[in-house]
Amino acid sequence: MEELSPAAPALFPAPLLENPMEIARLKLITDAAALLPPDPDPAPDPSPATAAAAAEDVELRSIAGSDDDDDDDDAASIGPELSAESPCSIASDSSSVAEELLNSDTPFCEIADAAAKAVGESSGDTMAIGGENDVSAPAVVEPATCRAGGGVRSVFLLDYVPLWGCTSICGRRPEMEDAVVAAPRFFDIPLRLLTSDAVDGLDPCSFRLPAHFFGVYDGHGGAQVANYCRDRIHVALVEELSSIDEGLGTDPVVDFKKQWERAFVDCFEKVDDEVGGKARRANAQSMEEDSDGIGEGPSEPVAPETVGSTAVVAVICSSHIIVANCGDSRAVLCRGKQPVPLSVDHKPNREDEYARIEAGGGKVIQWNGYRVFGVLAMSRSIGDRYLKPWIIPVPEVTIIPRAKDDECLILASDGLWDVISNEEACDVARKRLLVWHKKNGVSSSSSSSSSSSSSSTQQRGGDFTDPAAQSAADCLSKLALQKGSKDNITVIVVDLKAQRKFKAKI
């Protein structure tokens, strides 16, 4: 995350932003038409004109998934193999670069060796684990529950096994300040926190769905806050969700959207207080009881006041995807062949953020981009005590039901999004997943992840990553490097397809 040296606040008589972007508030979305199970008589894919109109509409609708013929065409259009011996070079045609990347099975560290040496590639402690667009985040509707009498299992009864891949590289920056985490089966979500409708045969209070946590944290001014968020946020979220569930008692019907928003806001604010030394940090030492009272009260700050981090996190279960975002990292869902942004970047020139900062006595200054007091290029983050109260840790939360045509979810720092659009990122990731499976068949990592993830709540070493998703994440980070990204680049790709079917070639 690019940040200028701290400067003394300067007050200006008039706002410097002349044309603020018009970005609507986050809304909760989609229709349930595309949810599992598959429709026996699927509608045809929309025409290009219809797809373009739907993309411009704030009320995003479900998008029809691609069929096997489309997948075959995609694979055939990718082009010849990229030789592992060929050095990587900056390509003038970004589409041809993407096509070359898509076709390579060679690990990223080998195929991009020349480029890596030039930019000082490094993955640090958080390597691969197992706003150019004016967009509005989608909102949520209740998923259509499949009745037991219909012969199809309820979506809430499906056991979703996480398949993910991740890469985190230093790029052209002198230091690595990003952090990343995957926590499979980190919490069992009560059914009443996922739907307001009655589900046949399932007790909304006692029935629970295993959920998986993924997070990307883009630090600035240092890596301390990002690393603390990596180790702490998913743990704090479990604490908040458990507290909410206990407080609801035996009430089977609750406003689950408000409960998720409350959980994430309290979680992020708690971690922000711990980072700033306002609250005791949750570690082994602080948990020890002290009969003399020594050690009670606030802890020392995690980092200097000029250090902070973004946070974009996703909770995924068999029925829903819940995303919380604070800062300018981003989450994008690839649904069919269309990108569905699940977060909106917190930039100082976003209309609502600009108004909030100015109303509080702050200033948004154009200095190598719009910045709060000419320093920070985002309007929300965890940490950054020297810019409070204008910089806040409050996340925006999006809840979306999963659909049968969901391909993958991409979480990434702005090192990717500064040079690659949502559309291109989804296209590259989707095709890379398809190419890998066509060449290698069905991955066995799903079964190994299922047995292994139950005994591991956090992975940072890549032991349980899916090779197809890892290939897609590597491909995206390599493409960002070739397109000239100057920042740290961190990418998580979560494969949302339980099964992939391919036509037999005769």
CA distance readout (Å), 95 to 40, 92, 220, 417, 485: 36, 9, 31, 16, 16
In a domain, 392, yes or no: no
What pLDDT score was predicted for residue 32? 35
Q: Is the pLDDT of residue 297 over 70?
A: no
Most confident segment among 27-31, 70-74, 456-460, 490-494: 490-494
pLDDT band at 2 (very low <50, low <70, confident <90, very high): low
Instruction: Using CB atoms within 10 Å of the CB of residue 52, give its burial: 0 to 12 exposed, 13 to 18 middle, 19+ buried.
Output: exposed
Q: What is the mean pLDDT of the chain?
A: 73
Residue 134's nearest CA partner among 334, 330, 345, 315 is 345
What pLDDT score was predicted for residue 251? 76
In a domain, 42, yes or no: no
Please state the rounded mean pLDDT for residues 238-242.
97
What pLDDT score was predicted for residue 349? 96
Determine what percent of the chain is predicted with pLDDT higher than 90. Answer: 50
Q: Which amino acid is at 119?
A: V
Please state the rounded mean pLDDT for residues 4-28.
41
Q: Is the pLDDT of residue 29 over 80?
A: no
What pLDDT score was predicted for residue 415? 97
Residue count (the chain): 506
> Which range (71-80, 86-95, 185-194) has the least confidence?
86-95
> Which range (167-171, 181-185, 256-260, 289-293) has the least confidence?
289-293
- CA 305 – CA 273 distance, rounded (Å): 12
In a domain, 363, yes or no: no
- CA 94 – CA 253 distance, rounded (Å): 50
What's the per-residue H, E or C state across 421-490?
Answer: CHHHHHHHHHHHHHHHHHHHCCCCHHHHHHHHHCCCCCECCCCCCCHHHHHHHHHHHHHHHHCCCCCCEE
How many angstroms separate the most distant Cα atoms in the chain? Answer: 78
Count of the separate structural domains present in the chain: 1
Tens-digit pLDDT profile for residues 167-181:
999 989 999 999 999
> Which range (34-38, 265-269, 278-282, 326-330) has the least confidence?
34-38
Instruction: Using CB atoms within 10 Å of the CB of residue 95, give its burial: 0 to 12 exposed, 13 to 18 middle, 19+ buried.
Output: exposed
Higher pLDDT, 153 or 33: 153
| Three-class SS state of 181 | strand
What pLDDT score was predicted for residue 250? 78
What pLDDT score was predicted for residue 207? 86
Q: Is the pLDDT of residue 46 over 90?
A: no
Say what the pTM is: 0.71
Backbone angles phi, psi at 53, to 5 degrees: -65, -40
Residue 60's nearest CA partner among 403, 425, 316 is 403
pLDDT band at 410 (very low <50, low <70, confident <90, very high): very high
**Residue 169 is part of which domain span?**
155-279+303-344+397-440+464-495
- CA 341 – CA 137 distance, rounded (Å): 6
- CA 22 – CA 30 distance, rounded (Å): 22
In a domain, 1, yes or no: no
Q: Using CA atoms in the order 38, 40, 45, 46, what is the torsion angle rounded to 10 degrees? A: -100
- CA 420 – CA 198 distance, rounded (Å): 42
- CA 210 – CA 208 distance, rounded (Å): 7
Please state the rounded mean pLDDT for residues 49-55.
40
In a domain, 175, yes or no: yes
In a domain, 330, yes or no: yes
Kindly report the number of other CB atoms within 10 A of residue 147's CB atom: 12
What pLDDT score was predicted for residue 62? 32
Please state the rounded mean pLDDT for residues 315-336.
97
Q: Is the pLDDT of residue 300 over 70?
A: yes
pLDDT band at 3 (very low <50, low <70, confident <90, very high): low
CB 243, CB 236: distance < 8 Å: no
What pLDDT score was predicted for residue 482? 96
- CA 316 – CA 212 distance, rounded (Å): 5
What pLDDT score was predicted for residue 378? 97
- Domain at 265, CATH number: 3.60.40.10
In a domain, 271, yes or no: yes
> E strands, 152-274, where?
163-169, 178-190, 208-220
Most confident segment among 37-46, 63-72, 454-463, 488-497: 488-497
In a domain, 109, yes or no: no
